[in-house]
A and B are shown apart, each in its own frame.
Chain A
Amino acid sequence: MTATPSNQSDSVRLMTPAMLVLWLALATVPLWIARVGLYPYLGIEILIWSLYALAFNLVLGTAGLPSFGHGAYFGIGAYAFGLCQFNVVANLWVCLMAAFVVAGLAGALVALFISHRRGIYYAFMTIAFGQIFWTLSIKSHKITGGEDGLLKIARLPANFGLASFDLADNVAFYYFVLFVFALAVMALWRLVHSPYGRVIAAIKQSETRAAHLGYHVWLYKASIFTLSAAISGFAGGLFAMAQLAAFPDVMSLHQSGYIVMMTLVGGGLVSFWGPVVGVFLFLIARDVIGALTNAWMLYFGLLFIAIVLFRPEGIAGAIGALFEKHSAIRRQGNSAMRLLFGGGRWR
């Protein structure tokens, strides 16, 4: 939402000051992450899931469509990357493109069936399709390796023509993922502030009005879902490289639930950066609290409940509200929650 004049100018920019600060901060991570007791691989995971969460938030936050089976597209991207590497050509760019395209096609197929729906029906259908893809990934042993996963996926070298970088090392791979993440964030930032992004945001607020203004609501809803699935699949391709394998568990319902939790806790409903905040919090909490107790999810779950009850606009929204005195963001969060979960009272 670019309502306040202060970020009006940011919406025109390709790269905002906030992005630049974030890139620079993230670029220093490998220098100190081991010293604070964490490990470089966590940085990779956070960036990939951040990209996935931003892609997911195109549907949840920008379009207001509750998709609870998004793990499917992340997983399909991972498998597509591996299968492309084994069966087509072992080229990084081709395989990442394959992850994007195949997940996008799966998303488009699902979008065909769900885009005339909204609210709870939409949510249920995304779950149903997510479960279908998850089941297929487990049952198709010959293609996906079933529950054992698709193993021995290589981190292909990044060939930029003039120079080629080996990504086998976690630090090198981290910088590659950061580079891709930076490009993707710029593209997504532009997307949500483009006329297309504004139309999507309008449709979220009133499908009826948008239709009477002459917009093809179905096509917009189907296209944003497809795009979101494709970018999620792209992130999945990176994840296959990170893990050196592709597993069905990221496609399961509870893993699909994680991305929803991360996005909501972070504040994806009111803020572009919300999903990223949520991913940072979730994965760092997993490792830090998880080192202390197996029941870390219990604590994160409590946090999730507290946020939904008291700060439905999420952490990014709460931070934003500190800067923006009036409570526009807060109300926005509330109405967004209402939009997603029906007319129930949330406060």
Chain B
Amino acid sequence: MALIEVAGVHVRFGDRVVLESMDLAVSEGEFHGLMGPNGAGKTTFFNVLTGRVKPSRGSIRLDGEDVTGLSPRRIAAKGIARSFQIMTLFDEFTARENVTVGLPSFRARGFDMRHAATADPGFAEQASEILATVGLVDKGDVRAKDLSYGDRRALEIAMALGQGPRVLCLDEPTSGLGTDGVQRLATLIGKLKGKLTIVAIEHDMEFLFSLADRISVIHWGQVVARGAPQELQQNEWVRRSNLGRFA
């Protein structure tokens, strides 16, 4: 059985249909890419998956459990973490604090008013481990707003990783990154692949085609093509849209 099962999801904003009969099944450990033109509904689909938008129809199951329409915090608690295309960091916090706040063990003590947050070195240690994974270990004390763009992108992912998720949703992780940054990210995703279930929206085709196990092409709120990168190469729609040349 797939870890994530999305069936017949409709989303409507006013009289505009944004998603129509979206289906998706992602099995445990799979890296599933989502691609498609701007306005195709990819981010809206992510918002449905992570609880920001309630679908008007359809269902989302995580490991068989119905999570349709749950709030972001409940979805997060169930183990779906996300990064944001428009960076959403705690800018005044240091990189380490950003990750610390995301740790489930920290969240469990969220209403603790009697102890100092820094009194327990366990949080900082855990956060530093996560920062090491994304290559930010020596920047733990730098405020998020003072980090370079590439490092901020890395921190976006580190925060989601810190949640110890079962499913990691990445919204355009390479957005705005240079060649070096994309390479660094590819290395990171390569390390995570197989250990985590990853769903990623991505415009960088080279990146996606080299890493993804399967890819869904979304257009007009529907999946128009789906398959392994090699299979997609053969797909009529992908060929016509000039996306297949990377495969």
Contact = CB atoms under 8 A, between A and B. Distances in A.
Interface of A: 1-3, 5, 8, 11-13, 190-191, 193-199, 201-202, 205-206, 208-217, 220, 223, 328, 331-332, 335
A1 B72 CA distance: 27
A8 B119 CA distance: 10
Nearest to B71: A211
Contacts of B163: 213-214
24 contacts: A1-B92, A2-B118, A3-B92, A3-B94, A3-B143, A12-B116, A190-B116, A193-B117, A193-B118, A194-B114, A195-B106, A198-B101, A205-B90, A205-B92, A206-B90, A212-B72, A213-B107, A213-B163, A214-B104, A214-B107, A223-B111, A328-B146, A332-B92, A335-B91
Interface of B: 50-51, 71-73, 76-77, 81-82, 84, 88-94, 97, 100-102, 104, 106-107, 109-119, 141, 143, 145-146, 159, 163
Contacts of A194: 112-117
A296 B72 CA distance: 50
A209 B88 contact: yes
A211 B116 contact: no
A100 to B, nearest CB: 15
Nearest to A189: B116
B92 A12 contact: no
Given A211-B72, A215-B110, A195 B115 contact: yes
Nearest to B143: A3
A194 B120 CA distance: 11
Given A194-B112, A214-B163, A5 B141 contact: yes
Nearest to B74: A214
> Which has the most chain A C-beta neighbours within 10 Å: B76, B88, B100, B118?
B118
A208 B92 contact: no
Given A205-B93, A208-B88, A195 B159 contact: no
A195 B110 contact: yes
Given A194-B116, A213-B163, A202 B90 contact: yes
Q: Which 4 A-B pairs have the closest CB atoms?
A: A214-B76, A12-B116, A211-B72, A205-B90
Given A195-B115, A196-B110, A196-B112, A209 B104 contact: no
A309 to B, nearest CB: 22
Given A211-B72, A214-B104, A215-B73, A195 B117 contact: yes
B116 A212 contact: no
B88 A206 contact: yes
Contacts of B115: 190, 194-195
B165 to A, nearest CB: 10
B109 A212 contact: no
A130 to B, nearest CB: 26
Contacts of A198: 97, 100-101, 117
A190 B113 contact: yes
A20 to B, nearest CB: 18
Contacts of B141: 3, 5
Contacts of A215: 73, 107, 110
Contact of B93 (A202, A217, A335): A202
A212 B101 contact: no
Nearest to A219: B111
Given A3-B97, A195-B112, A212-B76, 13 more contacts: A3-B141, A11-B117, A11-B118, A12-B119, A194-B115, A194-B117, A199-B110, A205-B90, A209-B88, A213-B163, A214-B104, A214-B163, A331-B145
A127 to B, nearest CB: 27
Given A2-B118, A195-B110, A211-B72, A205 B91 contact: yes
B92 A213 contact: no
Contacts of B113: 190-191, 194, 196-197
A190 B72 contact: no
Given A190-B113, A195-B110, A328-B143, A209 B89 contact: yes
A223 B71 CA distance: 19
